[in-house]
Structure 1
Amino acid sequence: MSRDVRRPHAAVWDPEQYGAFGGERGRAFFELIAHVGLERPAYAVDLGCGSGELTAALAARWPDAVIDGYDSSLEMVQAARAHEIPGRLAFGVWDVADWRPERPVDLIVANAVLHWVPEHVELFPRWLDALTGSGVLAFQVPGNFDAPSHVLLRDLCESPRWRDRLGGIVRPDPVLGPAGYLDVLTRLGCHVDAWETTYAQVLQGDDPVLEWVKGTALRPVLTALNPSDAAEFVGAYRERLRGAYPPSSYGTVFPFRRIFVVAAKRADP
């Protein structure tokens, strides 16, 4: 069942821009789901579903399950609704921090969204209470916030030219490491599998790292600035990225660390 409940979000999202590197972004999702041991979940929820292609992959993997996908972005959900399957797969606008299930859930997936939710660790007890006795919480977050792409972005936002409008807009450390999540969720009574992977991604095209972050980390900045100022900011950021990620004959290498967690609820914490 779809539910349109929305609260203001820090960024206006562009499904087309986000999908420009769909293969690279989707790889971590499929590796996460490969570690979920459920055989026949009856009901699953994809929080931060984006434009819906990956949520549709959940429906393909578990063809007997009813699946709801939710995202805070109306633009993303409008794109996702092209993938709806009546009675099986539906999408709605609902902020991750506000989401409350209307029935017990066998699987909660949160792919590349929790770093946008400052209080996400505080949500875990509520989400675990929503799971069935053998339910699973599976999520993946980027862990590259000390990479040049993000350090340069933060530094530029905090520079004298932009600090009054962009200071604090890019959080320096919005996620835990694998051991941190393992500790939190084990103490909440889960069997936890937590790990990290750094992908040595090779991106093609002109200024590909800039094009990547235009779909994600740069969105709050682009939303906060008028078009003229946004063009100035992006120009300055582009030059910094070119120095940090020089192209080679085969493309531009963009290392990307990701953190994975699969937490299985247990009846005897």
Structure 2
Amino acid sequence: MHDTGTHDTGTTHDAGKPTGPVWDPQQYLRHSGPRTRPFHDLLARIPEPPARGRPVRIADLGCGAGNATKLLAGRWPDARITGYDNSPAMLRAARTHLAKEPYGGHVDFVHADIADWTPGEPFDLIVSNAALQWVPGHARLFPSWVRALTPGGSLAVQVPGNGDAPSHVLLRELCASARWRDRLHEAGRRTVDVLQPGEYLERLMDLGCTVDAWETTYVHVLTGEDPVLDWIRGTGLRPVLTALAGDPAAEAAFLDAYRALLREAYPPRPDGTLFPFRRVFAVARTAG
């Protein structure tokens, strides 16, 4: 599950998101507590699948380092769960994360890009947490996913909706500036592809589902030096850092400029730096 958004199709794929960014599980997990909190809220709103006399079958799309997968296994300990991701680094971290967990069911991880993932079997629950923002036009995928749900099954998604936050606006503007536009304009544009809660509700209702859609803005209190930059280094900055890989001087110059902008936009308080973060949620249940 990856926060702050971007997704593009192309050659290198990561964390349920197409092309480009090279992911760093350790950097991502530095803020695992607040990153995971929205999934607890999503999980609480997912209805129980109907009893079928067999283990619940679950797909975790864009599973990242396995944070959400572990929580799914905790709620449905006898389930068969597959986490799908297109980042080899994240998949390695997920397998390590869950290797010693005493689950009665079966948890495995498969390399796949959710931008073109098609269910090959029926699922009782399909989940995507903080990954679809990387997939342009991702609502086009919903019909095939809903068709794969068993009667009474659910599709549950959470996407960051903070594309208009200073953190993202400043990143786009800096990438489009005269110094950086030739190298980074495309990387800077890859930050948001998220619908409004009502749009998700309408798209999923049109597929015959009962839908619960909402949004929440979390106000995180981050600590440490330049904590907003540290947060974004694990997510929205990945396309930029990937584009600048191999050029330490350029990377340092970009980060210095972005750091200064973030310090002004998110001034520290004595007890930490306030970092509002909007999330959009939808849980759709099929008839039956």
Alignment TM-score, normalising by the size of structure 2: 0.87
Inter-partner Cα distance in structure 2 for 1:157 and 1:194: 33
Alignment TM-score, normalising by the size of structure 1: 0.93
Worse overlay, 45-54 or 166-175:
166-175
Inter-partner Cα distance in structure 1 for 2:46 and 2:229: 33
1:205 aligns with 2:227: no
CA offsets, 1:212-231, max 9 Å, x none? 00000000000001322111
Q: Cα RMSD over matched residues?
A: 1.6
Unaligned stretches of 5+ in structure 2? Answer: 1-9, 13-18
1:47 aligns with 2:61: yes
1:230 corresponds, among 233, 240, 251, to 251
Inter-partner Cα distance in structure 2 for 1:31 and 1:95: 25
1:220 aligns with 2:239: yes
Matched with 1:75 is 89
User: Is residue 22–residue 239 contact of structure 2 (8 Å, CA) maintained in 1?
Assistant: yes
CA offsets, 1:6-48, max 9 Å, x none? 9522200000000011000000011001000115661001001
Inter-partner Cα distance in structure 2 for 1:242 and 1:215: 18
User: Is residue 57–residue 79 contact of structure 2 (8 Å, CA) maintained in 1?
Assistant: yes
Matched with 1:262 is 283
Inter-partner Cα distance in structure 2 for 1:200 and 1:159: 29
Inter-partner Cα distance in structure 2 for 1:72 and 1:227: 26
Matched with 1:3 is none
2:148 corresponds, among 122, 130, 142, to 130
Matched with 2:158 is 140
Inter-partner Cα distance in structure 2 for 1:248 and 1:87: 46
1:249 corresponds, among 253, 267, 270, to 270
1:191 to partner: Cα distance? 0.6
1:21 aligns with 2:31: yes
Inter-partner Cα distance in structure 1 for 2:20 and 2:42: 26
1:128 to partner: Cα distance? 0.7
1:160 to partner: Cα distance? 0.8
User: Is residue 78–residue 104 contact of structure 2 (8 Å, CA) maintained in 1?
Assistant: no
1:166 to partner: Cα distance? 1.1
- Counterpart of 2:215 in structure 1: which amino acid? E
User: Is residue 77–residue 105 contact of structure 2 (8 Å, CA) maintained in 1?
Assistant: no
Please state whether the residue corresponding to 1:96 is helix, strand or coil: coil
CA offsets, 1:192-229, max 9 Å, x none? 10000011110010000000000000000000013221
Matched with 2:177 is 159
Inter-partner Cα distance in structure 1 for 2:105 and 2:202: 38
Matched with 2:73 is 59
Inter-partner Cα distance in structure 1 for 2:32 and 2:95: 18
User: Is residue 56–residue 89 contact of structure 1 (8 Å, CA) maintained in 2?
Assistant: no
User: Is residue 160–residue 278 contact of structure 2 (8 Å, CA) maintained in 1?
Assistant: yes
> Residues 48 and 81 of structure 1: is their aligned pair in 2 closer, same or farther, counting only changes over 3 Å?
same
1:171 to partner: Cα distance? 3.5
> Residues 172 and 112 of structure 1: is their aligned pair in 2 closer, same or farther, counting only changes over 3 Å?
closer
CA offsets, 1:94-135, max 9 Å, x none? 101121223200001100000000031110011111111111
User: Is residue 78–residue 105 contact of structure 2 (8 Å, CA) maintained in 1?
Assistant: no
Worse overlay, 189-198 or 37-46:
37-46
User: Is residue 191–residue 236 contact of structure 2 (8 Å, CA) maintained in 1?
Assistant: no
Worse overlay, 168-177 or 251-260:
168-177
Matched with 2:16 is none
1:88 corresponds, among 106, 110, 115, to 106
Unaligned stretches of 5+ in structure 1? Answer: 1-5
User: Is residue 197–residue 258 contact of structure 1 (8 Å, CA) maintained in 2?
Assistant: yes
- Counterpart of 2:201 in structure 1: which amino acid? L
